Homo-oligomer: A and B are copies of this chain.
Amino acid sequence: MAMDRDQVLRDAAALLSRKSTATMDEVARAAGIGRATLHRHFAGRDALVRALEELGIRQFEAAFDNARLDEGTAVEALRRLVAESERDAQLLAFLVTENQLFEGDQINEGWARLDARVSALFRRGQAEGDIRIDLSPAWLTEALYGLIGTCAWAVMDGRVAAKDFQYMIIELLLGGARRSVEK
């Protein structure tokens, strides 16, 4: 069975996140299937993007659940969240940059729910005294998405080693680039 729906979507995301104007034929080739088969499973380009959004939301809902955001400190939960996000980082990279989904209502609801969970996590960290209060939860949420996407690209381009994915993101996000003496 050459047709693994989720894997096709992942391949599509990997390609589209780099070349958003890619042809349906290019997407099919990238996924290792024929264009006809691609059309059999996704009615059209819109349906494909919708499926990508749906998969992305579903995967990250699951990632959030696996990360057990409510357990331990917010900082610990954040580390688990980044670890859980690695698998679908390319998908996130595509979705973050594909902000033309401002028409979808159902989709935005899903993103709003995810944003709320991340935002709440940062807010909890601020309440616990571990996260700076001069950086808004909304910005930290966006920055987390951005860093994950950026690192996914950097890994794809070979500028960052795949094994360093989690470390580079979490260390930069939490600790920053400046060297401090006590760390």
Contact = CB atoms under 8 A, between A and B. Distances in A.
Interface of A: 18-21, 75, 97, 99-100, 122, 125, 129-136, 138-140, 142-143, 145-147, 149-151, 153-154, 157, 159-160, 164, 167-168, 171-180, 182-183
A17 B67 CA distance: 31
Given A21-B100, A153-B99, A160 B136 contact: yes
B18 A20 contact: no
Given A97-B97, A146-B146, A177 B132 contact: yes
A132 B167 CA distance: 13
B139 A151 contact: yes
A180 B125 CA distance: 13
12 contacts: A20-B97, A122-B177, A125-B177, A132-B175, A138-B154, A142-B154, A142-B160, A143-B150, A146-B149, A174-B177, A175-B176, A175-B178
A142 B153 contact: yes
A154 B138 CA distance: 9
B99 A131 contact: no
Given A129-B179, A132-B178, A176-B175, A150 B145 contact: yes
A167 B132 CA distance: 13
Given A146-B147, A168-B135, A140 B100 contact: no
B135 A171 contact: yes
A43 to B, nearest CB: 18
Contacts of A21: 20-21, 100
